[in-house]
Amino acid sequence: AVETEGKKRKWHGSVSGIVDSPLDKVWTIVSQSKRLSQWMPMVERCIDLVGDEGVPGYVRLVSGFMFPQQDGERSWIKERLVAMDSTSHSYVYKMEASNVGLDGSINSLKLIDYGDGSTLVNWSFEIDPLEGTLEDNIIDYLGFLYKSCINRIQGAIEDANKKVYETC
């Protein structure tokens, strides 16, 4: 197979889910880095590194148990915000560096008003092929991981209504 301009074909995947809360409430939870651990159970910490949250160029360091490490250490991923549009309720992050082998991966999250006070969450991703890993396996794993996060958004919203968090 001939590679065009030295670029390899990316692996793509996406997952969606319905959250039984209005669009604005879902956006409030998913668009703030300090709230990541509320709906991403595998994230323990999120640290601002560069720039202002919500502004393209913002960089954060996310750590936790996203991907099991052979040495038992926590996973870490340095992510740069590529785009954020609060009008269309969407954002794009690029994984710049990590200890999980997903450098260069791009994650996009988009919310759509689904009517009756519910919101469709669509999370899509593209990654560079990983050597020694089957495409279907990694796409399935990421899909499972991201779907489990979508499934926790409702609980995070309900918890936020009960108390104020000071985490991440």
Question: Per the domain annotation, does 39 fall within a domain?
Answer: yes
Instruction: Name the amino acid, one letter, at 31.
Output: S
DSSP string, 89-109: TEEEEEEEEESSS-TT-EEEE
The domain total for the chain is 1
| Predicted pLDDT at 62 | 94
pLDDT for residue 3? 46
List CB contacts of 110: < 8 A, sequence separation 6 or more. 88, 89, 90, 121, 122, 124
pLDDT at 72: 72
Whether 2 maps to a domain, the answer reads: no
Flag whether 5 is in a domain. Answer: no
pLDDT by residue (tens digit) across 96-136?
Answer: 999 888 899 999 999 999 999 999 999 999 999 988 889 99
Q: What is the pLDDT of residue 92?
A: 98
74, amino acid identity: R
Which stretches of the chain score pLDDT less than 50? 1-4, 165, 167
Q: What DSSP designation does 43 have? A: E
CATH code of residue 53: 3.30.530.20
